[in-house]
Structures are given as structure tokens and as C-alpha cells.
């Protein structure tokens, strides 16, 4: 992306962790950021942070599983800024357990947020990117989308699906000048594991050896900075010190 100034990005799960770090990085580069999350209080605080650093930000309380809510956010973005250049699908959830432990409710929630949410957001923004003949969609994936996990069956299954979704969307979007990529994440030190602390806990030394949210923001920035000739279609971001 040769000129960041004036571009508009939607980032889901922007209230904390990776989503907030990516939003801050984009804002620092002059991108107008639409912050989306289902946690309204944290979202307002995130918006204040971006505005405090001189950025332009719009907060939208959003359930990514609800098409009506997604469509309203996209329309509000267009009404406010007139364009959508970047979509970062980041909102996600994870529960501990294999097939025998995972409840039907946990399975449905994981597939709804981690998979249906990505689909609905992409579906909503794609017509506007096609009309502009440009755009970028970045989907957060996981090492558990490359190999199965007996302790995170729903999460792993959702991320395998995201890899297929990313590749399929890329084929659809490429003729229109739209780049689609995934970032395959190893362990990242964020509050994302809150649903699993009863089963999995890491000490401070271990957390320091994980990836930081800012490392993921680096990869997002690199994808968006790639030339029109290249597409970093999938970045596998390893925790090098783990």
C-alpha cells in the first residue's frame, strides 16, 4: 500500500490484544480505523486510545455472527468515511476440550464467531472493494488450523476452515485487484486464553517467550506494504523462543 493516508480499515476483536495492536498500528500510519467488538466498554477505551494518539477511529459494538449488525456497521462506515480499503478478521473465541468435553453450545459459538463472522464480514465488504478495484482482507488463523488438537477441537476445526476460506476468497477476489491473506499464529501473549485458564495456564517466563500482539501487527503491516506484484498469501508466524 503506497499511500496509507486516508485509507479506511475495519478491525474485528479490536477491543484488546491483537485487534487493538493492529488498530493502533494502522492508525499510526494514517488509516481511519473502525473498531468492532462485542465488548462495548473495552471498545470505547480502545477508541479513546487511538484518538489520543491523533488517529481517527469509529467504534461499533458488533456481534460478528449477526448479519444485520454486520451490514449496519459496513453501511455506517461508508456513510462516515465513504470507502473500505482493509478488513482484518480477528474476532475469535476458544474453549478447552476434545470431542467428549466440548459442549454443543461451545461448538456453535466457536463456529459462529471464528468462521461465520469471517464470512459475513467478507461478504459485506467485498462488493465495495470490487467497485474500487482494490482492497485487502487479512484473516487471523492459527497453527491449529494446520494440525489437529485433541484439547481444542472446535477452535482447531474453525481454523482449518479459515485456511480453506482464505484460499477460496483469494481466488474470487484476485481478478478484482483485491488481496486476501492469512496469518497463521503460534502462541501469542494476549487475554485470548481467558476461557481456558481453568485448564491451561502459563507463567510469566513462558509468556515472555510467546509472540506479542505487536509482532502480529508487524505482519499485518508487511502484507499491506507489499507491492502490487506480490501477495504474502499466508504468513506462518512462529514463536521463535518457544
- 81, 95, 118, 155: the active-site residue: 155
Checking 122-125 for CB contacts under 8 A at 24+ apart, the result is 122/87, 122/89, 122/165, 122/169, 124/70, 124/71, 124/73, 124/74, 125/10, 125/74, 125/84, 125/87
Catalytic-residue membership of 81? no
Pairing state between β 57-61 and 86-89: unpaired
| Residue whose C-alpha cell reads 506462518 in the numeric block | 236
Q: Which of 71, 69, 121, 67 is nearest to 92 (CA)?
A: 121
Give strand ranges (E) for the chain.
8-12, 32-37, 57-61, 86-89, 135-142, 178-185, 234-237
Say how far apart CA 14 and CA 39 lie, in whole Å: 9
Spatial distance between the Cα atoms of 126 and 116, rounded to a whole number of angstroms = 15
The rounded radius of gyration (Å) of the Cα atoms in the chain is 17
Q: Is 92:116 a contact under the CB 8 Å cutoff?
A: no
Q: Give me the active site residues, please.
A: 155
Amino acid at each position: 500500500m503506497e499511500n496509507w493516508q486516508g485509507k479506511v480499515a475495519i478491525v474485528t476483536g479490536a477491543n484488546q490484544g491483537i485487534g487493538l495492536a493492529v488498530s493502533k498500528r494502522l492508525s499510526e500510519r494514517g488509516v481511519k480505523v473502525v473498531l468492532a467488538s462485542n465488548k462495548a466498554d473495552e471498545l470505547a477505551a480502545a477508541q479513546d486510545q487511538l484518538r489520543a494518539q491523533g488517529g481517527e477511529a469509529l467504534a461499533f459494538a458488533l456481534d460478528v455472527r449477526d448479519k444485520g449488525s454486520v451490514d449496519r456497521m459496513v453501511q455506517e462506515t461508508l456513510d462516515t468515511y465513504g470507502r473500505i480499503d482493509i478488513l482484518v478478521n480477528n474476532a475469535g473465541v476458544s474453549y478447552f476440550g476434545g470431542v467428549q468435553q466440548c459442549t454443543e453450545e461451545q461448538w456453535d459459538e466457536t463456529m459462529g464467531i471464528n468462521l461465520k463472522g469471517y464470512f459475513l464480514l467478507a461478504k459485506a465488504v467485498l462488493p465495495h472493494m470490487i467497485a474500487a478495484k482494490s482492497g485487502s482482507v487479512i484473516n487471523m488463523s492459527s497453527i491449529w488450523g494446520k494440525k489437529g488438537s485433541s484439547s481444542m477441537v472446535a477452535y482447531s476445526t474453525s481454523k482449518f476452515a479459515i485456511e480453506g476460506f482464505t484460499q477460496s476468497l483469494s481466488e474470487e477476489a484476485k481478478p478484482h485487484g483485491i488481496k486476501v491473506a492469512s496469518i497463521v499464529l503460534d502462541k501469542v501473549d494476549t487475554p485470548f486464553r481467558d476461557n481456558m485458564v481453568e485448564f491451561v495456564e502459563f507463567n510469566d517466563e513462558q509468556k515472555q517467550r510467546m509472540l506479542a500482539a505487536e509482532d502480529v501487527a508487524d505482519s499485518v503491516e508487511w502484507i499491506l506494504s507489499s507491492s502490487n506484484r506480490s501477495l504474502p498469501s499466508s504468513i506462518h508466524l512462529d514463536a521463535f523462543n518457544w
